[in-house]
Amino acid sequence: MLAPQLEVDGARGHVRFEPLSSYPGLAGKPDDAPVARAMQILGVERAQKVGFGTEAGLFAAAGIPAVICGPGDIAQAHKPDEYITLDQLARCESFIDRYVAATCMEATACR
């Protein structure tokens, strides 16, 4: 905290933090339809959590189940030389195609 450091340095002042915006983390459940569908397509038994922010938590808070997916690797994201490889784009495109097809098989809106 900064306030104790100000006192140690002998400065007179006050530090106040005021959140300007926030969004909740996503706590998706494996039995939520989007999560279960993604896990089935990927052939995994467990969803992974990520340590970065998205709007998915806002959707979930509004009662809309959500899953986070997309191309790339967070290790290369949001840096001066960020990039996504063509292979990552192709794998993402394949996943999204399979996800949409599986969703349409369950919904009458796509028929």
Q: Is the pLDDT higher at 39 or at 27?
A: 39
Q: Where on the phi/psi map is residue 3: left (φ > 0), alpha (ψ -120 to 50), or beta?
A: alpha
Query: Among 51-55, 79-83, 85-89, which is the least confidently predicted range?
Result: 51-55
Q: Is the pLDDT higher at 67 or at 9?
A: 67
C-alpha distances out from residue 96 to 3, 25, 77, 89, 101, Å: 49, 23, 20, 10, 8
Confidence of residue 14 (pLDDT cuts 50, 70, 90): low
Q: Which domains does the chain have, with CATH numbers?
A: 23-106 (1.10.150.900)
